[in-house]
Structure 1
Amino acid sequence: MIHPALTRRTLLTGAGALLAGAPAILRAQITGPGDPFPLGVAAGDPAPDGFVIWTRLAPDPLAEHGGMPMIPVPVQWEVSTDPRFTQVAMRGEAIARPELAHAVHIEVTGLAADRPYYYRFTIGRERSLTGRARTAPPAGSRIDRLRIASVGCQHYEDGLYTAYRHLAGEDVGFVFHYGDYIYEGRGRDRRTDALGLPVATVRRYVGDEIYDLADYRRRYAQTKLDPDLQAAHAMHAFVATFDDHEIDNNWTGDGDQDGTPPEIFLLRRQAALQAWYEHMPVRRASLPHGPAIAMARRLAWGDLADFRFLDTRQFRTRQPCGDGFGPACPGVESDAARVLDPAQQKAAGLPAAGLWTVFAQQVMMMTMDRRRTAAEPTPIMNLDTWAAYARPREQFLASLGRRPDVIVLTGDEHQNFAGEVRDKAGRPVAIEFVATSITSGGDGQDRRAGSDVMLANNPHLKFINDQRGYVVCDIGREGWNTDYMVLDRVSAPGGTLSRRIRMTVPRGETVVRAG
């Protein structure tokens, strides 16, 4: 349902023409369209007493420096209990600095727990869109229900962000973004995906493949100009993580897929992660230090759910067997392989702070035989998933003990999957819900050719689908429901959203079935 207090008209309030009320130095130096807030607003990382609010000043978003002068600029912000801002709860001033592309990250505190708030930014007489975010409930408090969404893989060239327009109307506590917010590659008329399937280019990125900080900033700016994406950000707090395409396809640690010398690749990684920080509503704790960034974090939602957001890229060793899709090689069993750093590995085994323990992360944790025809004699795996890191995977699953009610939320695959995460002995340890892409892969279809073979070869896999969209998880004290929301098309406007299936997990059972 659309929140009655915040309609599309309210979202668009604040878009203006020129910075008429700005200081003289800005009026003299900022030219062009003039609206300093064309990239919208966003909120993220909710806590019981607040959340992060974000915007970036960029009156000419695709121009050098976003059309901003190279000076610090004061920005006023307000948080209110109502969308008309008659009851302002917090207000203040932040400095938008050129070193961070004139982005601001305000860590709002002192708010009441478990309720919605509204926020906006102002420079002189110019005002941003109005955003909305919900605070988390008090730690340990009894919570009977929470709805969240899981989204990601939003290749701008592969389709329209219609899914985000629908997501803006969902009633959710927050949105988990698993990554691939941007894609690093250059535009071409037609491309193929990882399986060689054709993907049409619906709209084009500006420029070629991106490498330096200015490139990455421009790519984020172009992405964030999309009004449907802006609407989703304005309606919900996001908990953002990154996967590979925020830097380069299938990168891990200090290496990329092209064999670039590590010391050179780390320069690209540093630029990319700075741009990610500048454009995501994340806390100052994630401010990059050189090529390193603190992305993994934790969020407890009362006594109902304990969310642990993992980083499966930054500390991972290179994929074995040459990466891609193929049969296993001895490297899959390597003792030297790593997916997480020691701190994340240790945190995985900490006692649960909620009825459900949720690992929100990037690449599939289920093992999977990827064969799609009877003519393929040898099992095939995606070597960029946990399955190709057998020893780290077993260590991770062992650290969970025999606790029930473990859920894994994943993306990356550009398809919907639901199934059981089984350990080496074949025992179900967790349930994994893999969300499809917002656009990556194009329109898709209900099932790719060979999906029936995959279901037959993988008895722990219970559902597969190849349409675009997102998932909505309805979490209760007695069970967990995941709705797979899919679009009939993303290649043209007006895509229709529907619920493809509901998958259900009874509390206390490591089993998933159609509900």
Structure 2
Amino acid sequence: MINPGHRKVALMAETPQSFDRRSFLVTTGLTAGTAAAGSLLLPGTADAAPLRSRTLKKNPFTLGVASGDPAPDGFVLWTRLALDPLAENGLGGMPSGTVAVEWQVAADARFKKIVKRGTATASAASAHSVHVEVHGLRPGAQYWYRFKTGTYLSRTGHTRTAPRADTFGSALAMAFVSCSQYEHGYFTSYRRLAEQHPDLVLHLGDYQYEYKKDHYVAPGGNVRDHAGPETVTLANYRQRHAQYKADADLQAAHAVAPWLVVFDDHEVENNWAGNVPEDGSDTPDTADFLKRRAAAFQAYYENMPLRRTSIPRGPGMQLYRNVAWGRLANFHMLDTRQFRDDQACGDGNKNCPEAAAPSRSITGARQEKWLVEGFRRSAARWDILGQQVFFAQRDSDAGPAKITSMDAWDGYVASRARITKGWVDAKVRNAVVLTGDVHAHWASDLKLNYDDPHSKTVGSELVCTSITSGGDGKDSNPADHPYLKINPHLKFYNNQRGYVFTKIGKDEIKADFRTVPTVRNHDAAASTKATFVIHDRVPGLHRTYLRPYETVRAADRRSDDQIIRETIANETEPA
């Protein structure tokens, strides 16, 4: 439930500041109507004696600030203290013990009108992360926030509350992103996104990658290096998250608006499925994999602006949830990893009859039931699924065989059919699926029967490319892509890096597919390659603008087989 009048907000200073104690009122407890969950304690662990903040020798706010999961009366605020983000033990160079961290929420950027304040505790047990759940604020309003410990002050973040449940509020500017492999390039697209001042950002997975240095190499070589080994232990995951969070472009995107986040595979391990690791073994490695998953989940929570309902319990984590934006939109945020059946036919792109087995599920029965019941209860103008992997059918074979990805919804055909029928039977007014994962922009109509090109369109899918994963990619005429010829419901493709920026109103959703020409420098500008509109009560995509692509010289044309192989290679990560 979120929506404000959309006003441009200047990006705040990049570096944490020293601070005059007289200008910040210190409180000793939580203000009424607020709650803070500053530490995530593991069984059998305890912190040393409290650490006095003034003993910190330099500014610990090196990982920025963030907000998330907005509601009509508040949101989550996040920060994590780190003196040395790349410390090998994952604890950011922080001394043992707890640190008192003060926080403020203001109705103005200069903090002349502070509306909420309190103190949270950052402990070594939670890698000195802080999660504050703020309540008692005005709906549909924008706010500024910051943290302080000792004489050190964090950068200022900007956020907002959702509109009241019975109102639409103003049009919602929402961006969504996925797949930011640190080694493959600079996070320029995060910066360009922040400069557009969205009201809300969705991250649909692969926020960080687990690989050791140079295991996953982009075409043309990697631009920068991962620190540490492949992430397996809690210390490994904490260190990796800190390396990503220290990036100035990512910090700018977090500081500009609240985020809704869900993980995909690389937050744990490439192509994991339920209790099954990437290599597909269920014994004797399951116990080791679940330990790894528990470590990954804890580090993910510690580094994301999530509510305490998502605090992991060992190798389990409650991530799927609904966030309403007044009457305008319901965001159904899905988890398509933790409860899925293992990929069929050994994974990969295959002709696999097993993929259509009625018993197979990508969400698990409990989440599927929750989602369908959510459709039935919804009175929103737009029901939006924020999820990880390609939803529509993508057949890569022009003949009678059906060659599809076993890691996407094509590997769980019955699961996709049940959920699609769920929103149709519930008479959802407008169904829109948002997707990441595949390192390219796509746009698609959604069908009940993809094998019948005349089947009724019942929804729309917008797929964002990666922030960096896969390197620069290539620009091309989307009409030349064989997937669009084989699958007439697919309407657009572009293989450069970027994000999708949308404007969600009562009458339409307008989606701009934004790209940058390179991720190998910080200065690349973003441009709009295509714009699609989804009209209220008219399922399917309508193209309003497409960049005129230059004619490709005959000598430079690639065969359909070459293009298909390049597309699959772009989406496939090393084992």
The answer to whether the superposition gives a TM-score over 0.5 is yes
Instruction: Give, in whole Å, the separation in 2 of the partners of 1:199 and 1:277.
Output: 34
- Report deviation, 1:336: 2.7
Q: In the alignment, which of 68, 72, 76 is matched to residue 48 of structure 1?
A: 72
Deviation for aligned residue 1:259: 3.4
**1:457-488 deviations in whole A, cap 9, x for unaligned?**
01000001101110011111111111101101
Paired residues of 1:190 and 1:199 also in contact (CA < 8 A): no
Cα distance in 1 between the residues matched to 2:347 and 2:390: 15
> Which whole-Å deviations, capped at 9, do the CAs of 1:167-187 have from their partners, x for residues lacking one?
111232210000101000112
Q: Secondary structure at the match of 1:348?
A: helix
Question: Does the aligned pair in 2 maintain the 1:300–1:353 contact within 8 Å?
Answer: no
**Aligned pair partner of 1:468 in 473, 492, 497:** 497
What amino acid is the match of 2:447? R
Percent identity, please. 41
Deviation at 1:377, TM superposition (A): 7.5
Q: Secondary structure at the match of 2:476?
A: coil
Partner of 1:411: 436
Counterparts of 2:541 and 2:497 in 1: how far apart (Å)?
22
Task: Tell me: CA distance 1:87–1:440, structure 2 relative to 1, closer, same or farther (3 Å).
Answer: same
Cα pair distance change 1:49/1:200, threshold 3 Å: same
Listed one character per residue, the Cα deviations across residues 183-213 of structure 1 (whole Å, up to 9, x for unaligned) are 0011218736xxxxx3621100002211000
Which digits, 9 at most, give the CA deviation of each residue in 1:364-419, with x for residues without a partner? 11001124xx7x87432111111111111111111112534100000001000001
2:306 matched residue in structure 1: 282
Quote the Cα distance in structure 2 between the aligned partners of 1:188 and 1:303. Answer: 47
- In the alignment, what sits opposite 2:559? none
Cα shift readout 1:19-44 (whole Å, capped 9, x = no counterpart): xx99995478645xx21110010000
- Aligned residue number for residue 469 of structure 2: 440
Partner of residue 226 from structure 2, selected from 187, 205, 208: 205
Amino acid corresponding to residue 471 of structure 2 in structure 1: G
Residue in 2 aligned with 1:6?
10
Change (3 A) 1:505 1:7: closer
CA distance in 2, matches of 1:331, 1:451: 31
Q: Could you say what the CA RMSD is over the residues aligned between the two structures, in angstroms?
A: 2.3
Structure 1 residues 159, 144: CA separation in 2 closer, same or farther (over 3 Å shift)?
A: same
The within-5 A match list for 1:206-221 is 206-221=227-242
- Give runs of aligned pairs for residues 91-130 of structure 1, distance below 5 A: 91-130=117-156
CA contact (8 A) 1:55 1:105 kept: yes
Q: Aligned equivalents of 1:152 and 1:57: distance in 2?
A: 25
CA contact (8 A) 1:152 1:177 kept: yes
AA in 2 matched with 1:97: S
Change (3 A) 1:413 1:116: same
Q: Cα 1:113–1:450, aligned 2, differ >3 Å: closer, same or farther?
A: closer
Structure 1: gaps of 5 or more residues: 193-197
Identify if the C-alpha distance between structure 1 residues 274 and 125 changes in structure 2 by more than 3 Å, giving closer, same or farther: same
**Cα deviations by residue, 1:33-63 (Å, 9 ceiling, x for unpaired):** x211100100000110011000001111111
Q: What's 2:573 paired with?
A: none
Partner of 1:257: 278
Partner residue in 2 for 1:513: 542
Range moving further from structure 2, 504-513 or 268-277 = 504-513
Q: Secondary structure at the match of 1:216?
A: helix
Paired residue for 1:455, among 474, 484, 489?
Answer: 484
TM-score, normalization by structure 2: 0.83
Distance 1:249 1:451 in 2: 30
Q: Who is 2:558 aligned against?
A: none
1:318 corresponding residue in structure 2: 342
Q: Among residues 244, 259, 265, which one is paired with 1:223 in the alignment?
A: 244
Please tell me the residue identity of whatever aligns with 1:405: N
State TM-score, norm by structure 1: 0.92
Cα deviation for residue 452 of structure 1 reads 2.1
Alpha-carbon contact 2:16-2:59 (below 8 Å) kept: no
Contact 2:53 2:150 in 1 (8 A): no
Specify which of 520, 529, 535 is matched with residue 500 of structure 1.
529
Aligned mates of 1:379, 1:4 — CA distance in 2: 48
1:390 matched to which residue of 2? 413
1:357 to 349, 372, 383: 383
Which of 333, 344, 367 aligns to 2:356? It is 333
**What amino acid maps onto 1:14 in structure 2?**
Q
Kindly provide the amino acid, as one letter, of the partner of residue 208 in structure 2.
Answer: I
**Match in the other structure for 2:99:** 73
Query: How far has the Cα of 1:142 moved from its partner?
Result: 2.8
1:291 to 2:339 alignment: no
- Corresponding residue number in structure 1 for 2:368: 345
Gaps of 5+ in 2: 1-5, 27-48, 545-575
Residue number in structure 2 paired with 1:186: 212
Whole-angstrom CA distance in 2 between matches of 1:430 and 1:27: 53
> 1:178 and 1:87 mapped to 2: Cα distance?
35
Q: Distance in 1 between matches of 2:411 and 2:312?
A: 29
Aligned counterparts of 1:208 and 1:447: Cα–Cα separation in 2: 36
Deviations 1:295-327 (A, max 9, x none): 011111111111110111100010001111222
